[in-house]
Amino acid sequence: AQKVTQAQTEISVVEKEDVTLDCVYETRDTTYYLFWYKQPPSGELVFLIRRNSFDEQNEISGRYSWNFQKSTSSFNFTITASQVVDSAVYFCALSNSFFGAGSYQLTFGKGTKLSVIP
Amino acid sequence: NAGVTQTPKFRILKIGQSMTLQCTQDMNHNYMYWYRQDPGMGLKLIYYSVGAGITDKGEVPNGYNVSRSTTEDFPLRLELAAPSQTSVYFCASSSRPSSEETEAFFGQGTRLTVV
């Protein structure tokens, strides 16, 4: 079975601080995909990044960066110089590549609520 | 540039009532999904569809039904509403299965309360 754990339920930081959101996953598949979604207070889910299991290269996009480590089954997300607009719930998700039962769903973590205080 | 549109945004139902949550997408995606999000929890898959006329159960299908008569629309039906169905419902679509390297596009959600 697949599982995604986001141990941090809520985090508060002061604006301009850096913050890292942790994501640990479990899967027996050798090929899988990892995602991060942002859910701002308005409620919609916004796609941020995807990463396949064969690509352990870290990625940076502006103030956002992602650290994927297969050895520790982690896919952590760092926001540098946080801003108030970063306040949201962030979800890590996992999908496998097998065709069949369960192959069409994303397994979501419970989310981490980030509050950036001005 | 509508993407995935859900209606209504909010609804209050009485126990035993029925309703249909509407979902439509204009991206010509074959794959569509319904998720529910309970407070403090991640999303759980209710039903999904791989194309018009084809649907299948997800992780938590009990109490719900779906149909997919067109590529664009994927309504979710609650027949006998129960308090346990109080949740936020998200519809999503993708061009390929979520098992492949493609993101799903989500609607804005429907907040349903059953009293």
Q: How does pLDDT run across A55-82, given as a tens digit for each residue?
A: 887 888 899 999 999 999 999 999 999 9
Distance from CA of A77 to the nearest CA of B (A): 17
B106 burial (CB, 10 Å; 0-12 / 13-18 / 19+) is buried
**A21 reaches B (C-beta below 8 A):** no
The average pLDDT across B97-109 equals 75
Under the banding of pLDDT at 50, 70 and 90, the label for residue B95 is: confident
The residue of chain A with its CA nearest to that of B110 is A43
Report how far residue B71's alpha carbon sits from residue A91's, in angstroms, rounded to the nearest whole number: 28
- Mapped onto helix, strand or coil, the DSSP state of residue B58 is coil
pLDDT computed for residue B1 by the predictor:
63
pLDDT computed for residue B13 by the predictor:
96
> Cβ separation of A35 and B40 shorter than 8 Å?
no
Residue B97 has pLDDT above 90, yes or no: no
Counting as low any pLDDT under 50, the low residues of chain A are 101
pLDDT computed for residue A44 by the predictor:
85
| AA letter at A73 | S
